[in-house]
Structure 1
Amino acid sequence: MLTLALSLLTGVILWFALNALWPGHPVWNSVLGVLGFMGVIVLINLLMRKRLEAIFKDVQTSIMDTQERLKRKITMMQNKMQGGPKLQAMIEKEQAESIRETIKILDRVAPLKKWNVLAARQADTLRGQLLFQIKDFEAADPFLDKALVLEPLTLAMQMTRWYKRGKMDDVSKAFKKGVKRFKDEKATLIYALYSWILLAEGRQDEAVVVLDEGKTKTENETLKQNWDHLVNNRPKRFSNAGLGEQWYALYLEQPKAQIVRSQAAFGGPGMGGRRSR
């Protein structure tokens, strides 16, 4: 890593220079050498963070521009009484094309990874999220597998893809880590997703236990209702629809009354879609 190498070199040069110019003070010279080492690290990290923020801002701007353009098109088409599956398919196609162009912006992160070890991982996490949102799941999987999980939706995307690929051990481990990391209402989506998966796998009793814990910790009405349905043996009434867009963003189910809509803003849920492996 160039940051560490340059910082170490700076510290060593500073230490030798101080000892030559100010002999007889080894302790202070060492302290100043360490401060020089740390100062270079801080300076480089600040510069790299600004460059990363600029790149991610460009990504966000591109997505928001696409969103606004598609919203205008949807409104125009609906005003002309045109809609339905054909319009939905057209919007999804245009959206996917725009997102793929947006993803290319992340290529600008490549030169920074020599200076910041997390730069590439941050970019790859966002790349995985965007590919997931346009339903290019196979392309998203390698990035999501190693994603930097900073919020529940990213973890939910990981769990969804591991479930679809039959990796239930990974799903269970992710759930346990997730509910420890995300507290209170932030864990709602994680509890809802895992209980849905357990029910889909025919593990209703385990889903009841998960929902019992989830409804207590999050006080979410959807979790409470689903727990009530399962303990009273009404699994067909189980529904995470109450979570809205954040649930449909996982593409495990689609709304009963599907509405044509454009890609959600950066970091948010995407369009509803069919279940697909």
Structure 2
Amino acid sequence: MNERRRPNLPPSSVAGRRRRGGRARGRRAGRPRLLWPVLAAGVVLVLAGGLALRSATEPADTAGASPSAETGGTEEARKDEPTPEAEKAKGEKEDAEKSGEKKGKGAGTGERPDPGSIPSSGPGTFATADGGGDRVGGSGRTLTYVVQVEDGIGISAQEVATEVERVLADERGWTADGKVGFRRVSGGTSDFRVRLATAGTVDDICGQYGLDTGGEVNCNVGQDVMVNLKRWLLATQYYADDVSSYRALIINHEVGHFLGHGHEGCPGAGRPAPVMMQQIKGLHGCRTNVWPYDADGRPITGPALG
């Protein structure tokens, strides 16, 4: 067999070729290792760019503070926060309520004061409400009256007179019979007097006629319709939430006595209590009522009591 024979080369040429081949193989083997630093550098640049963008659009975190504290909370939370206008309105309302509470401890506001603040006795002298009112009622006899308030109890006679006039002018009142009429006066002679006084004074005046009011109730004696200050301000358990209505019951009941009406009982369970019933002693199945007539002009009565 014939063999190809390599040409005889000098040793230096062989060594040089080996070195060149080694360098070529080294470059080919090193290319994959060069890609990792490039890729890593790219990732760093991307992350750095993202952080820079975030720092430009978001506030930096503050140690110990929540995001809602920095931004004012979420939109829903801000809707629930009171506006300056709402805070002002709330303050005005609270001031008005406080003012009403203070006023309620005085004259005819209908508020129920602390029982301990109500004087139990007074000087027994009275102030008369000024002016007068128009005649109200039917075509029969006109009864004149004055309104008086005991001195020193902190209640205006004029305010009490306004309430009494309102009650006696109501279409469900005693004028509904079409006969009796009323007119308030401030001087001269009068047919009767409506007098608001402390419990002690009421007891004294009513006691002169043999009536025992016990520091608790009202009475009519002679020409005097005596109204107990305690009842005027506190009403009773049945009218605790409607003091104004109980005042109407006092006036209608005691003026009813002056007109000659006696006490009556409950006409039946669920029916309105007659105004001449002593409701302070219990309703006995009846419903509360403060007028002698209903809205249709029919009298509200019950069985006569001896």
TM-score band, normalised by shorter chain: under 0.3
Structure whose residues are more often strand by fraction: 2
Higher RCO by CA contacts (8 Å cutoff, separation 6 or greater): 1
Of Structure 1 and Structure 2, the greater helix share is in 1
TM-score (norm 1): 0.25
Select the structure of larger CA radius of gyration: 2
